[in-house]
Structure 1
Amino acid sequence: MEDKESPYECRCAFNESICEMHRRFHEMMAEAGRAGQQILPVIRGVGIPVDVREIEGEVVVVADLPGMKSSDVTIRLTSPETLRITARRREVPEEAGEGYVIRERVSGEMTRTVNLPADVTDEGASAAFRNGVLTVRLKKVSGEEGIEIPIGEED
């Protein structure tokens, strides 16, 4: 097996074969492009669920972050078509004497990269956080890109 550096780090306590499978799966989803990125959170079953809407001159992203505060969340427009939401859930201290049968609520950092349906700008962007729901509003960039350069007549 060839040793290859990958941005899809395996942070698990499993053996090397599981980590290699994890890396290959994420690389395959990345190669699938936008479709792969949209299905990845569904396959994982964890993460930050989002709704993305395109309304007139803006793109609206709504994310569910139950039990979090606005200070636990950061939003970054990484490119005109990509928004990254990062949230840190604090670890819930274990109660002494409590015998968990199932423990699915995870703590730590969660990140969701959202591919937007149109190019947007950070100018006029706004975000609101209420009752564990984050709403981000981004203005769409006009359809024409760049600045038109006039063409002079040849002599």
Structure 2
Amino acid sequence: MKNLFIAFTILFTTSLIAQTHQIIKHDGETMDINFIKTANNLVYYTLPQSVEEKTISQYAVAQLNEKSKSDSKIISEKIQLNGKSDYKKVVVLKKHQTIGLKESGIITSFYGGTKGESPLSFSDNGEKRLKQNAALKGSAFIVILSNKPKDLKAAIYTY
């Protein structure tokens, strides 16, 4: 009876520790993980044999495969840009949402506002200008560093 109890304990413990999911990133890299949840454009997970919670940008992850059920879930579609006209596809992220993406540079621009333009309108047009520059360079993600008059600046990210 004691041996049977130990055998069941080992079986259940092994299944809890086992790698349950696999992440496939847009750049082709795969990672074996224990999936926790997705929230705020982030995927939360732990690595095998670790209890430390880690995060990766939802935009960096293409697919999440569940190993035990052979089930897969699309996390995000890859954003394809074909020039400056695709600026509406460029996503503005916060710095903590870029984990797993590669920073490919910094873009700057100048936007001279018109007389009587509201601060909100200036901010929107500045963001539009930065998105257009990012789309021109083929980067699907930006983090706005400065949205001040005469000093528009953003970090651009790719897969």
Q: TM-score, normalised by structure 2?
A: 0.22
More helix per residue: 1 or 2?
2
Q: TM-score, normalised by structure 1?
A: 0.22
Larger radius of gyration between Structure 1 and Structure 2: 2
